[in-house]
């Protein structure tokens, strides 16, 4: 049975979990070794970077890359889940202030930079060995952990109160629905995340992603391989290419010396993630640099 190796960009449909998408791909591609690089909530849509076959070994590195989302929040209501899933007839509506563009932009810009963000109570994060959402559904009060996050940019796309649309680029582990809830607190009327679409993961963009239906179609007509990016071409890290003689020594854990290096692609500092490639460009190892690229 043929195994696909590489990166496939997939457009997650509304209502499915990230695990649902992976399960569907395992059936469509008749392949078990498939993983993704960042969970999207069921009510979110958009880009999932899927690792196939040997590419599953690099999934954790792609997970570290910044992500970009287009989000819609609805002001005037608070949701226990911070998104539309928690909105029901029992939720009380608050009067929405008559905000102008400058006021909304000021609130959004206050989130830029390094922040500590509380994990939502309704999330899959484990506390004391138990997933938070399971405790929340039983009405248990649990102190949720905080995460260090970084908001690279957050920009207003448009608004028609009570709805506000914005684009945000952020570090891994950022909960956009928590940002929605926090915006509601700052404005003073509550807010929840009413729509979310992931549009970018590093250099990967949603416009290049396939739907599950397209994956099925291209698999059947034999053209799917042209949409799968080879592992060597997708790693977003600087790289060092070594001599043909040294290539065989990488597997034994040897670090290259200056005389073993043929080329350096990209800039890096000590302790940054880099890839080591053999003389033919094949990735042999991924690790932390001991020196900077200029040395």
Q: Is the pLDDT of residue 251 over 90?
A: no
Q: What does DSSP assign to residue 1?
A: -
The answer, yes or no, to whether residue 70 has pLDDT greater than 80, is: yes
What percentage of the chain reaches a pLDDT higher than 70?
91
Q: What is the pLDDT of residues 97-135, one digit of tens each?
A: 999 999 999 999 999 999 999 888 777 777 667 777 676
pTM, two decimals, is 0.84
At residue 194, the pLDDT reads 97
Q: How far apart are CA 148 and CA 259, in angstroms?
A: 40
Residue 156: closest CA among 116, 239, 100, 194: 100
Instruction: Quote the pLDDT of residue 65.
Output: 86
Give the mean pLDDT of 179-187: 96
Question: Residue 102 to residues 26, 97, 106, 162, 225: CA-CA distances in angstroms?
Answer: 48, 14, 6, 16, 48
Asked whether the beta carbons of 154 and 211 are under 8 A apart, the reply is no
What residues does CATH 2.30.130.10 cover in the chain? 237-288
Whole-angstrom distance, CA of residue 73 vs CA of residue 52: 34
Q: Which two tokens stand for residue 176?
A: 């956009």
Active site residue 41: yes
**pLDDT of 50 above 70:** yes
**Cβ contact 271:289 at 8 Å:** yes
Superfamily of segment(s) 237-288: PUA domain (2.30.130.10)
5, 20, 23, 41: the catalytic one is 41
Q: Which of 32, 11, 33 is nearest to 21 (CA)?
A: 11
In CATH terms, the fold of domain 70-196 is: Pseudouridine synthase (3.30.2350)
Q: How far apart are CA 58 and CA 93, in angstroms?
A: 46
With beta carbons less than 8 A apart as the criterion, state whether 112 and 77 touch.
no
User: What pLDDT is attached to residue 295?
Assistant: 60
User: Which stretch of DSSP H or E encloses residue 67?
Assistant: strand 67-75
Pairing state of beta strands 273-277 and 239-242? parallel
Q: Other CB atoms closer than 10 Å to residue 174's CB: what's the count?
A: 20
pLDDT band at residue 293 using 50, 70 and 90 as cut-offs: low
**What pLDDT is stored for residue 44 in this prediction?**
96
Query: What whole-number distance in Å separates Cα of residue 165 and Cα of residue 152?
Result: 17
State the average pLDDT over residues 130-146: 72
Does residue 149 contact residue 182 with C-beta atoms inside 8 Å? no
Q: If one looks up domain 6-65+204-232 in CATH, what number appears?
A: 3.30.2350.10
Q: 236-265: buried (b, 16+ CB within 10 Å) or exposed (e) per residue?
A: bbbbbbbeeebbeebeeeeebeeebeeeee
pLDDT at 1: 62
DSSP 13: P
Predicted local distance difference test score (pLDDT) of residue 226: 96
Q: What is the mean pLDDT of residues 60-72?
A: 91
Question: Cα separation of 199 and 168, whole Å?
Answer: 10
Average pLDDT, the chain: 88
Q: How far apart are CA 20 and CA 53, in angstroms?
A: 18
The residue behind tokens 């690792």 is 51
C-alpha to C-alpha distances, 165 to 51, 61, 155, nearest whole angstrom: 31, 30, 9
Every domain range in the chain assigned CATH 3.30.2350.10: 6-65+204-232, 70-196
What does the pLDDT average to over 42-52?
Answer: 96
């Amino acid at each position: 049975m043929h195994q696909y190796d590489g990166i496939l960009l997939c457009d997650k449909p509304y209502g499915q979990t990230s695990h649902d998408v992976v399960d569907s791909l395992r059936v469509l591609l008749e392949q078990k070794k498939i993983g993704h690089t960042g969970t999207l909530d069921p009510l979110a849509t958009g880009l999932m970077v899927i690792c196939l076959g040997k590419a599953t070994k690099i999934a954790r590195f792609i997970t570290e890359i910044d992500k970009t989302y287009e989000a819609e929040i609805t002001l005037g209501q608070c949701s226990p889940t911070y998104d539309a899933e928690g909105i029901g007839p029992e939720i009380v509506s608050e009067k929405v202030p008559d905000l102008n563009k400058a006021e909304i932009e000021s609130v959004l810009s206050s989130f830029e930079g390094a922040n500590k963000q509380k994990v939502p109570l309704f999330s899959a994060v484990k506390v004391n060995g138990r997933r938070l959402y399971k405790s929340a559904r039983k009405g248990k009060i649990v102190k949720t952990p905080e995460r260090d996050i970084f908001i690279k940019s957050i920009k207003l796309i448009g608004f028609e109160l009570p709805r506000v649309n914005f684009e945000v680029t952020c570090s891994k582990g950022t909960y956009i629905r928590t940002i929605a809830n926090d915006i509601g607190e700052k404005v003073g009327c509550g807010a929840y995340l009413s729509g979310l679409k992931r549009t970018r993961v590093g250099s990967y963009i949603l416009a290049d992603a396939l739907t599950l239906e397209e994956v099925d179609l291209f698999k059947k007509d034999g053209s799917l391989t042209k949409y799968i990016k080879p592992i060597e071409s997708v790693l977003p890290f600087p790289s060092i290419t070594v001599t043909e003689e040294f290539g065989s020594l990488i597997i034994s854990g040897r670090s290259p010396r200056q005389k073993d290096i043929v080329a350096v692609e990209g800039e890096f500092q000590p302790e940054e993630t880099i890839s080591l490639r053999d003389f033919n460009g094949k990735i042999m190892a991924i690790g932390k640099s001991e020196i900077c690229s200029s040395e």
